[in-house]
Amino acid sequence: MLLQTVTPVSVLGTTVLLALFLSLTAHIAARNVLGDVDPRRALYIGPLPAVISVVGNAFELPGALILLAALLVDGTMFWWSYEQPRRAVAVMTLIHVVVTTLLSGLLLVASVLLASMPG
C-alpha cells in the first residue's frame, strides 16, 4: 500500500485544477446554450463548486450533500455570470453536469489505459 501525505500545496493544486476544469466545462455549456460568449465569464463559475467539493470531501460529508451544494452554487454562478432567465440557467447547469461527467469519465478511462500500458 502506497502511503500518500496531504500537503497544503497538493490541496491547493487539486482545487485550482478542478476549478479550471469546471470553468472549461462551464464555458462549453454556456456556448451550447447561448452561442458565442466571453470565455472569461466561465472563470467565475468553476472555483466555488471546486472549493465545495474539496472541502466537503475533506470533512467527509455525504456525497449527495456535496453534489447538491455544488449544483446550487453552480446554477447561482451561471445566473450571476451570464444574467440569463432561470430556464436558460437550468439548461446550462444541466449541460454543465453532463459535459463534466463525460469529460471526467473520458479522462479517467484514458489514465487507466495509460497506467496499464505494458513496458
The answer to whether 39 and 81 are in contact (CB under 8 A) is no
Write the DSSP assignment of 53-117 as a string of letters. Answer: HHHHHHTT--HHHHHHHHHHHHHHHHHHHH---HHHHHHHHHHHHHHHHHHHHHHHHHHHHHHT-
2-39 per-position pLDDT tens digit: 667 888 999 999 999 999 999 999 999 999 999 999 99
- Mean of per-residue pLDDT scores for the chain: 94
pLDDT at residue 119, rounded to an integer: 74
Total number of domains in the chain: 1
* Residue 51 is assigned to a structural domain of this protein: yes
Domain range enclosing 72: 9-115
Within a domain: residue 4? no
Query: Beta-carbon neighbour count of residue 70 at 10 Å?
Result: 19
- For the question of whether the overall pTM of this predicted structure is more than 0.85, the answer is yes
